Structure 1
Amino acid sequence: MSFESKKKDSKKSTIVIVGGGFGGLTLVGSLSTAIDPLKHNVVLIDARPTFMPLPSTLRLVVSDVDDLMRRSLHPYGDHTFRNKLAGNGTFIHGSVTEIKFGEAGQGGSVVLDNGEVVQYDILVLATGSAWPSPINFPTESKSAIEEFVQARREEFAKASDILLVGGGAVGIELGGELRDAFPSKAITIIHRATHLLNTTYPDKYRTGLQKQLEARNITVLTGDSITESDASKLVEGHLSGAELVTEQGRKLKPDLVIPTWGARPNTSYLPADLLSSSGHVKVLPTFQLPAHPNVFAIGDIIEWKEQKSAAKAAYFQAPKVMKNIFEYLHLAEAAGSREINLSASKKSSKYSGSMEMILITNGKGGGMGYFDVLWGIVIGGWLASLMKSKDLMVSRLPGITGYTPK
């Protein structure tokens, strides 16, 4: 029996969460302590069968240090649903191809790539970002992910001169992990802007990160980039082993070129009228889609003038979405057929943004953090290592996923 037909036989309302990243899983965890399982079903859908914690993935694809294949790849399952959701939650492995929205806040359905249709009364979109090739993991199975990881490790081990194209967080952290694993390899990061990262962060932080990299014999080329033609070849997987001439005329001869530029929002399943020009989902301060009040969006995919991060989705957005879901359900029960205006409710929770904060690793022992409080606080290697670099927060994952690695 499909989930669609099950729903038709049930008087419960169904909350569907698409995306089991930090934001989606935090929301599941929050719902598990507050939901009435006699009134509501919860369904979690994710394109992959396992949780992929972004902070640990760059170390994962470089080497087998810290046994991250076992410790950080947590499968979804019954353990995902705890407390009041124990035995009352459903995980579905599948990629969303289309959302069929209901009329005027009525329920709709989620169409998956395997043809399955999942009906919803409340829908939360938390599909995150699509990342460049070193961490663009396959979706079909855990074994496929493991094969992908092994292939990346072999690729890095074989190379002698590695070029990372993009000096954002991914490029910086991958450079640090590569230097930990391969002390003598030539590693270069090329970045179009005059400083690493972007102008959200102060120059002292951006130059500090560059100095850390250069102190580890990682070459950093700023104010330059590979040509558009070479970038297109890199995306298509056809750029390797050739001499490159950068836009500033530098000649580079890497035997491995890795794209480490920024991510893009994973929203291809949505119609263009719901998206901004950058592909992000347009939302109200209540995280609702303006034309679909029973549909919420959270995390990397939302159009909001701030940097995207797992911490913001988990700590600053998910709690507000949970509160708004319950308030919406309460208003819907009281309103009957009348239009529901969640934004007008004094009990709704509105988002006004979060402070900018970032922790970037440089291998296990280094890194820097920035917190946009007071005058702007920058923390150095020792504290960054203690907070993130050493363990990449892997020891905290069971509390998020409900899974304990064996």
Structure 2
Amino acid sequence: MSATVTVVGGGYGGTAVAKELDDVADVVLVEPRDSFFHNIAALRALVDPAWADRIFLPYDRLLRRGRVVRDHAVRVAPDGVELASGVRLASDFIVLATGSTYPFPAKLDVDDSAAAKERLRTAHEQLAAADRVLLLGAGPVGLELAGEIKAAFPDKAVTIVDPGHDVITGEDLPDEFRAELRRQLAELGVELVLGTTLTAEPVPDPGTLKPFTVTTQSGRTLAADIWFRCFGGSVLTDYLADELAVARQPNGRLDVTPDLRLAGADRVFALGDITAIPEAKKAAAARAHAEVVAANIRTLLEAGSSADLATYQPDEPGIAVPLGPRAGASYARKYGGLLDAATTSQLKGADLLVGEFAELFGLVD
């Protein structure tokens, strides 16, 4: 009989592990959503409804031998996973890949793809009718959303407010990269209001068309018709039980060993945003984690607990920030440093990797 590998979470890392191990184990992928949500392209889907159908990829062709269970994990112990339905999945190996939450529209908090698409379409209609847009947060999400809005609606006024004194602070990136993003944002007509916060959050709900005014701590009054929150991600790992819970830090992230196991749990791995690895939390990192986890489980299946396992080494700092389909900038030290808008469009901006993931999910004939 094959070993059972239970993968908790069907995001970028979890799906990669499940697919890689499908030929050597009985894989069970636990995921509450009915479709994979390609959130890399979510902001494009907000400004262009034609993208909404392209970023929800059904799970039914992902695995050939394994199965996808649509459910929530409520308790994970070293030997099994208990689901919200009451079912318990006895497991030889467990992979924790539950990812992170983030405010709409970068991520969604609904599990049904039809409801999610409707929410995106409603928000699009509200945005299309607005003349002035306020974005809170000058990180990658805020800048990407500003670029998408200006690409789709060049005449809209877009303002970004952030307490930092520059864009994308807190990451090990050179000043020239930030300067290039500021230059392009200025060309697009996006106003940056940096080094200050609002005295109070806007009264309307985010993504709702309703004119309002707000005041910054520096004393400036800003008027807008709609706003979006572009900060505030979090992880959910409170399902850990028994001795596994000691790996959980106060912020919810999990301490992992170099081979991506929880300390003291030889057959429980964790990957992606929920890990405490000091690196940018990106889909690319989750997929790199998945390669190590899948390789190590294969090794353990073949050679047992005495096997030498692969270790994960974080990549050099790098980032791609498209500002719509044709603008943006990237930085990758190993590829020469600052990369221009045309290269950024080739890497990410034009297709936003939709074709690559459609192929992964068996949706390309």
Q: Which of the residues 8, 13, 16 maps onto 1:26?
A: 16
SS in 1 for 2:82: strand
Offset, 1:309: 1.2
Q: In the alignment, what sits opposite 2:294?
A: 322
CA change 1:239–1:184 in 2 (3 A) is closer
Q: In the alignment, what sits opposite 1:196?
A: 167
The whole-number CA distance in structure 2 between the counterparts of 1:116 and 1:224 is 49
Matched, 1:296 2:281: no
The runs of 5 or more residues in structure 1 that have no matched partner are 1-10, 333-339
Q: Which of the residues 50, 54, 57 maps onto 1:74?
A: 57
Q: Which of the residues 178, 201, 213 maps onto 1:230?
A: 201
Q: In the alignment, what sits opposite 2:47?
A: 62
The whole-number CA distance in structure 1 between the counterparts of 2:234 and 2:70 is 22
Q: Which amino acid aligns with 2:362?
A: G
Q: Which of the residues 7, 30, 34 maps onto 1:45?
A: 30
The whole-number CA distance in structure 2 between the counterparts of 1:97 and 1:166 is 32
SS in 2 for 1:278: coil
Q: Which of the residues 90, 96, 103 maps onto 2:73?
A: 96
Which residues of 2 match residues 4-403 of structure 1 at below 5 A? 11-32=1-22, 35-36=23-24, 40-64=25-49, 67-77=50-60, 79-81=61-63, 86=64, 88-99=65-76, 101-102=77-78, 107-112=79-84, 114-199=85-170, 200-227=172-199, 229-230=200-201, 241-270=211-240, 273-314=246-287, 316-330=288-302, 332=304, 340=305, 345=307, 347-373=308-334, 377-403=337-363
The whole-number CA distance in structure 2 between the counterparts of 1:384 and 1:172 is 14
Indicate if the aligned counterparts of 1:299 and 1:308 stay in contact, CA closer than 8 A. Answer: yes
Offset, 1:237: 8.8
The whole-number CA distance in structure 1 between the counterparts of 2:42 and 2:214 is 28
Q: Which amino acid aligns with 2:321?
A: I
SS in 1 for 2:167: coil
The whole-number CA distance in structure 1 between the counterparts of 2:338 and 2:82 is 43
Offset, 1:267: 2.4
Q: Which amino acid aligns with 1:43?
A: V
Q: Which amino acid aligns with 2:102?
A: W
The whole-number CA distance in structure 1 between the counterparts of 2:274 and 2:205 is 22
SS in 2 for 1:282: coil
Indicate if the aligned counterparts of 2:253 and 2:276 stay in contact, CA closer than 8 A. Answer: yes
Q: Which amino acid aligns with 1:306?
A: E
The whole-number CA distance in structure 1 between the counterparts of 2:207 and 2:338 is 37
Deviations 1:325-366 (A, max 9, x none): 12333454xxxxxxx5x6xx4x20011322222111111110
Indicate if the aligned counterparts of 1:234 and 1:259 stay in contact, CA closer than 8 A. Answer: no
Offset, 1:262: 4.4
Instruction: Please give the root-mean-square deviation of Cα atoms over the aligned residues, in Å.
Output: 2.3
Q: Which amino acid aligns with 1:75?
A: P
Deviations 1:261-310 (A, max 9, x none): 14222324336632223321111111101132211001111001111111
Q: Which amino acid aligns with 2:74?
A: T
CA change 1:239–1:303 in 2 (3 A) is farther
The whole-number CA distance in structure 1 between the counterparts of 2:43 and 2:152 is 12
Identical residues among aligned pairs (%) = 29
CA change 1:236–1:204 in 2 (3 A) is closer
SS in 1 for 2:74: strand
Indicate if the aligned counterparts of 1:51 and 1:76 stay in contact, CA closer than 8 A. Answer: yes
Offset, 1:256: 1.2
Indicate if the aligned counterparts of 2:36 and 2:56 stay in contact, CA closer than 8 A. Answer: yes
Indicate if the aligned counterparts of 2:273 and 2:282 stay in contact, CA closer than 8 A. Answer: yes
| Stretch deviating more after TM superposition (303-312 or 198-207) | 198-207
SS in 2 for 1:243: strand
Deviations 1:205-263 (A, max 9, x none): 11211111111011111111223x428x6789999643211122221111212100142
More helix by share: 1
SS in 2 for 1:51: strand
The whole-number CA distance in structure 2 between the counterparts of 1:49 and 1:139 is 10
Counting matched residue pairs gives 361
Indicate if the aligned counterparts of 1:20 and 1:126 stay in contact, CA closer than 8 A. Answer: yes
CA change 1:350–1:235 in 2 (3 A) is farther
Indicate if the aligned counterparts of 2:42 and 2:107 stay in contact, CA closer than 8 A. Answer: no
CA change 1:273–1:254 in 2 (3 A) is farther
What TM-score, normalized to structure 2?
0.91
SS in 1 for 2:259: coil
Q: Which amino acid aligns with 1:370?
A: Y
The whole-number CA distance in structure 2 between the counterparts of 1:395 and 1:389 is 13
Offset, 1:27: 1.5
